[in-house]
Amino acid sequence: MDQSSRKIRVLVAKPGLDGHDRGAKVIARALRDAGMEVIYTGLRQTPEMIAAAALQEDVDAVGVSILSGAHNTLCPRIVSLLRDQGMKDTLVVLGGIVPQEDISKLKQLGVAEIFLPGTSTQDIAKFIRENVKPRE
Amino acid sequence: MHEIKEDSSEQLASERWEEQSLKPARPGGERKTSFQTVSLEEVNRLYSASDIADIDIENDLASPGQFPYTRGIHATGYRGKLWTMRQFAGFGTPEETNRRFRYLLNQGQTGLSVAYDLPALMGYDADSQLSEGEVGKCGVAVSSLADMEALFGGIPLESVTVSQTINAPASVFLAMYLVVAEKQGADWKKISGTLQNDILKEYIAQKEWIYPIRSAMKLVVDTLEFCTKHVPRYNPISVSGYHIREAGATALQELAFTLRDGIEYVEWGLRAGLDIEEFVPRISFFFNAHNDFFEEIAKYRAARRIWARVMRDRFGAQNERTMQLRFHTQTAGVSLTVQQPLNNIARVAIQALAGVLGGTQSLHTDAYDEALALPTDSAALIALRTQQIIAEETGAANTVDPLGGSYFVEALTSKMEEGALDYFERIDAMGGMVDAVEQGFPQREVQESAYQYQKALERGDQTIVGVNKYAMEDAPQQVPTLVINESVRQHQLERLERTRTKRDGGEVNRTLDKLRQAAQQGDNTMPATIEAVRAYATLGEICSALRDVYGIYEEPAI
């Protein structure tokens, strides 16, 4: 498919036990309005379920929403599961409440960017557009 | 009543004012073309007598302590008794939270409020695989009666009132609370406290559910019935708009959905054969205090008026206590910013003042660091001091309903009431709130509002200081945050292990079977739940027994 016509595909994922999905749903809709194809996993997905959905939906990016403080447990696992199943270029971004001291550690583990509360949805869309790996 | 002559002279005066004062005042127009509340509701430039001409002072306002309680449920307001300062707290192990509770009580706090962690809210034990990474993070970790005993160690439940924020597994936590009280030698007839136990708003907004909605409602009715009989001073439901608002609802949607949820519980209670005058006085409410000062005050005043009228006219209630809406308020967590976090102290103070001017019975003020993590001791202390400053220094507690009669506040109050009644009609037409939730109606309304607000923010129509205006890229204010030690999980796993070893396994199985049987037969599940708790069956085991019977809720795509 011609690169310019293929829409960027994003999986918005909500792992962990937390049910606060306002952010996940707002960002899903905003990315859709920005011209991307968005799949929302729904609540309480395990890292395994998220990785499987990413593969099945053949997404370019996974946007993870975590507000509960469980990011250090959940994010690295999602990244490594994606890599293990061959999705080496899939962009992983995280949005939520993340303390400053965790950010560099998460980036080292393969999370491309961490968006804190107050980030505009347009900035997030721009980041995804500029950082997804072009398809063959 | 206004006579026609007065109306026209008023209109003439208004026209004269526009001609003589308004037009010359600002030839270039106003700062903005549209002035909106944080709920994106348009507000007028000026409110005058004509805006409240429809209000009948006798019937719509009355005096404080009089139907329909628009001006408050107590004749003396806060001159008799201040609101209860009830700070929500919970993190790490039960011992750590117990220390925070004692600290807050020593600092003059007058009630306790427990925040449980996500595994507890979802009915899982600390050793469940699903609990990994979440134990003790968003609240205190509790998996069994042994944890509850540690949580309330040295805190006399007969004299301190405790509010528990727990919903899907609320009946289990009520049982654990009652058994701890019993072991302390407290009399169930004397203890008070509040169980959030508002499952409807979980499906609408907060989304910590376990069972399908109608089975979950049955559990709520069980607690209502049990408390009415055996724990008469306890408040078994706190109908909560707080989370609906946090999920993105407007002030009006918060008000309307919360009160309609309240109506639903009343209807289910009546169908179970409870006496309205007995159980409804023990239902309390819980509202958000957001940034838009006057809109919030109007919301609280309208809530009281609507509830009083609904109780009298829709249900035929006669006792005052049944018609009086009592509520707790918490400042808006969603309004707190990570950027320049000390600014949050100012936000919280203003939001809390709105709660007080709206006549709240109890109040939680958020700590300034809550957009970053759970609050530190010092941040929690400033939050409590904020309430004490409002109570002791501002004079806001000296006069009952000080904004009563304000053209603006009265006009907003009436508008809120009208809007809420309109929502009631739509929800009634769907068959009630359970049906409306099953059809995804309130969920869609809230999501839409959340998205519209985000768009308004990104257009710059709504301002957040330090975020989309007055931002400081280079100089973020760093504040210390509370870090939950990873050893919490280990500590909890060890106690759980000890509990499972020490207890009588046969008794656990027997009581769990009895609970399954009660659930299957549609009996009240509370007595069997209490027995299981006494046998040290864990939270996860009890919820699993009920999952066996009820199944689990699957959210439809909305």
- Name the pLDDT band for B1 (thresholds 50, 70, 90): very low
Q: Which residues of B touch A121 (CB under 8 A)?
A: 454, 458
3-state secondary structure of B289: strand
CB A39 within 8 A of CB A55: no
Contacts of A72 in chain B (CB under 8 A): 133
A48 interfaces chain B, CB cutoff of 8 Å:
no
Residue predicted with more confidence, A91 or B374: A91
> In this structure, which amino acid lies at residue B183?
K
CB distance A43–B207 less than 8 Å? yes
Peptide bond into B68 cis (omega under 30): yes
- How confident is the model over B27-45, as a mean pLDDT? 91
> Does the beta-carbon distance from A121 to B134 stay under 8 Å?
no
Contacts made by residues B506-511, CB under 8 angstroms, sequence distance 24+: B507/B535, B508/B532, B508/B535, B508/B536, B508/B537, B508/B541, B510/B535, B511/B535, B511/B537
Closest among B266, B175, B184 to B511, alpha carbons compared: B175
Alpha-carbon gap, residue B101 to B94, rounded angstroms: 10
Alpha-carbon distance of A117 to A66, in angstroms, equals 11
Going by C-beta distance under 8 Å and a sequence separation of 6 or more, which residues neighbour residue A126? none
Task: Indicate the pTM of the whole model.
Answer: 0.94
> What's the CA gap between B259 and B322, in Å, rounded?
14
Q: What is the pLDDT of residues B383-411, one digit of tens each?
A: 999 999 999 999 999 999 999 999 999 99
Residues of chain B above pLDDT 70, percent: 98
Among A17, A44, A97, pick the best mutation site for testing chain B contact (most B Cβ within 10 A): A17
| Confidence at residue B110, expressed as pLDDT on a 0 to 100 scale | 79
B456 pLDDT higher than 80: yes
Q: What is the mean pLDDT of chain B?
A: 94
Measured between CB atoms, which of B248, B458, B478 is closest to A120? B458
**At A77, which amino acid appears?**
R
Which of A12, A22, A122 is the mutation pick for testing B, counting most B CBs within 10 A?
A: A22
What pLDDT is recorded for position A57?
A: 96
Nearest CB partner across the interface for A22, out of B118, B248, B467: B248
Q: For residue B463, give both structure tokens.
A: 């301002």
Region of poorest pLDDT, from A13-17, B475-479, B534-538: B475-479
Give the integer Cα–Cα distance in Å for B215 and B114: 25
Cα–Cα distance, B305 to B323 (Å, whole number): 9
- Quick one: A32 exposed, middle or buried, by C-beta within 10 A (0-12, 13-18, 19+)? middle
Tell whether B368 is within 8 A of chain A (Cβ): no
Tally the residues of chain B: 558
Beta-carbon separation of B207 and A19 below 8 A? yes
CATH of B57-398+405-459, one of 1.10.10.10, 1.20.140.10, 3.20.20.240, 2.60.300.12: 3.20.20.240
CA distance A69 to chain B (A): 6
Higher pLDDT, B49 or B473: B49
- Pick from B138, B454, B555: which is nearest to A68 by CB? B138
| CB contacts, 8 Å: A65 with chain B | none
Residues of chain A falling short of pLDDT 50? 1-2
Q: What is the pLDDT of residues B490-523, one digit of tens each?
A: 999 999 999 999 999 999 999 999 999 999 999 9
Summarize the confidence of residues B126-149 as an average pLDDT: 94
Which residues in chain A touch residue B134, judged by CB atoms under 8 angstroms apart?
16-18, 68-70
Q: Which domains does chain A have, with CATH numbers?
A: 9-130 (3.40.50.280)
Structure confidence at residue B9 as a pLDDT band (50, 70, 90): confident
Q: Which whole number is the average pLDDT over B257-284?
A: 98
Amino acid letter for position B426: R
Instruction: List, as one string, the DSSP characters of B483-551.
Output: ---THHHHHHHHHHHHHHHHS-HHHHHHHHHHHHHHHHHT--SHHHHHHHHHTT--HHHHHHHHHHHH-
| 8 Å CB contact of A26 and B371 | no
The partner residues of A62 in beta bridges, in order of sequence, read A11, A92
Chain A residues with CB inside 8 Å of B246's CB?
20, 22
Q: Show the tokens assigned to A56.
A: 């099945």
Does the structure's ipTM exceed the value 0.85? yes
Each residue's pLDDT tens digit, B542-552: 999 999 999 99
Q: What percent of chain B has pLDDT over 90?
A: 85
Give per-residue pLDDT as tens, B60-73: 999 999 999 999 99
